[in-house]
Amino acid sequence: MESEVRERSPLYVNRADDEILAQAKKIIDRRLKRQSKAVARPECFKDMLRTRLAGQEREIVLVVFLDMRHRIIDIEEMFYGSVSSCGVSVRVILVEALKRNAAALVLVHNHPSGLSDPSEADVDLTQRVRSACGLLEIKLLDHVIVGETVTSLAEQGLL
């Protein structure tokens, strides 16, 4: 009886669901890596990014590291925040890009509110990352925001 009440509670965390979500994340990463030619065109991998980040209760920033031909080298969740913001270190992103010998990258984060419109802070972060990347001859291809829809700052001319 007690377990039935607990399972119906919105706060109940089902360990089996957590394992399924972890496996789904691995599958999405593998598919993104196999379909790495799509990275040059953000609309080709928006659905996978939405699947990976949608429904998260706090902001998560991940970086997609790319080689000279814009093929995926690695995808890493780098920063975790609150329901409305996330601290990001440009320095840490660049250190990780250099470790992987990345020639380009895509910055991706979610908005738990469901709105994917870029905030002033999002645009400012994009400009700071782009400027810093330029000094190291690394190209920032896009900054993608995942909410109920997916917004590409490159497509909006904000990059």
What percentage of the chain reaches a pLDDT higher than 90?
50
Whether pLDDT at 145 is above 80: yes
- What are the structure tokens assigned to 127, written together? 């400009």
Q: Is the pTM value of this prediction over 0.95?
A: no
pLDDT band at 159 (very low <50, low <70, confident <90, very high): confident
Whether pLDDT at 47 is above 80: no
Local structure of residue 119 (DSSP, 8 states) = P
List of domains in the chain = 2-152 (3.40.140.10)
Task: Give the pLDDT band (50/70/90) at residue 44.
Answer: low
Given pLDDT bands bounded at 50, 70 and 90, which one contains residue 146?
A: very high
Handedness of CA 10, 15, 20, 25 (dihedral sign): positive
In angstroms, the Cα distances linking 30 to 27, 52, 78, 105, 107 are 5, 12, 18, 17, 18
